[in-house]
């Protein structure tokens, strides 16, 4: 490694991150999570609930409950607790699949979409604060790269869930 890891003024996080980029992701994820939790609390949402609504918003036909849990890497019992709360608040609906009565399809409701739009607005402010050192082009590049990684992870998670079902 040719880079001097102990440059003057380097924080321990910066030193670790130059060795392992995942350290930066973890550190920035923690900062984003703390700020996001505070912002979402005003809307009565937790980050995992936001994630569920966000995923469902991209699925016009709904998504099987098992696929949703696999995609989000959530244990089935934890997912049910989250879905129950969102359903009680009218933010999503669950119906049995017509083709497989054991399968529940989960869909976002109009109220869920409205709350998601409000969350997008408050999280935009959080993102602006966190990414303030980056220009528009760098932010677009970062989003594109993160989207590619997330897309790959989603594909892998769905394949694993489908393989389990046989």
Q: What's the predicted TM-score (pTM) here?
A: 0.73
pLDDT digits (tens, 9 = 90+) for 50-98: 999 999 998 888 888 888 998 888 888 999 999 999 999 999 999 887 7
Q: What percent of the chain has pLDDT over 90?
A: 50
Count of CB atoms situated within 10 Å of the CB of 55 = 17
Give 19-42 as a 3 state SS string. Answer: HCHHHHHHHHHHHHHHHHHHHHHC
Backbone angles phi, psi at 89, to 5 degrees: -85, 0
Q: CA of 8: how far to CAs of 11, 12, 85, 118, 144, in Å?
A: 9, 11, 50, 43, 32
pLDDT digits (tens, 9 = 90+) for 107-141: 999 999 999 999 999 999 999 999 999 999 999 99
**Burial environment of residue 129 by CB neighbours within 10 A (0 to 12, 13 to 18, 19 or more):** exposed
Nearest CA among 21, 38, 12 for reference residue 130: 38
Helix ranges (DSSP H) in the chain: 12-19, 21-41, 47-57, 65-72, 76-88, 110-130, 136-165
């Amino acid at each position: 490694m040719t880079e001097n890891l102990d440059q003057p003024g380097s924080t321990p996080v910066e030193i670790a991150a130059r060795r392992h980029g995942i350290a930066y992701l973890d550190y920035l994820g923690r900062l984003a999570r703390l700020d996001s939790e505070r912002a979402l609390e005003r809307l009565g949402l937790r980050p995992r609930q936001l994630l569920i609504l966000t995923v469902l918003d991209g699925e016009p036909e709904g998504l099987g409950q098992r696929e949703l849990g696999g995609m989000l890497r959530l244990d089935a019992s934890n997912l049910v607790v989250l879905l129950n709360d969102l359903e009680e608040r009218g933010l999503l609906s669950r119906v049995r699949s017509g083709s497989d009565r054991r399968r529940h399809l989960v869909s976002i409701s109009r109220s869920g979409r409205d709350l998601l739009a409000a969350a997008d607005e408050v999280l935009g402010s959080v993102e602006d604060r966190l990414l303030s050192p980056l220009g528009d082009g760098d932010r677009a590049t970062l989003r594109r790269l993160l989207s590619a990684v997330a897309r790959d992870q989603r594909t892998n998670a769905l394949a694993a869930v489908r393989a389990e079902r046989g």
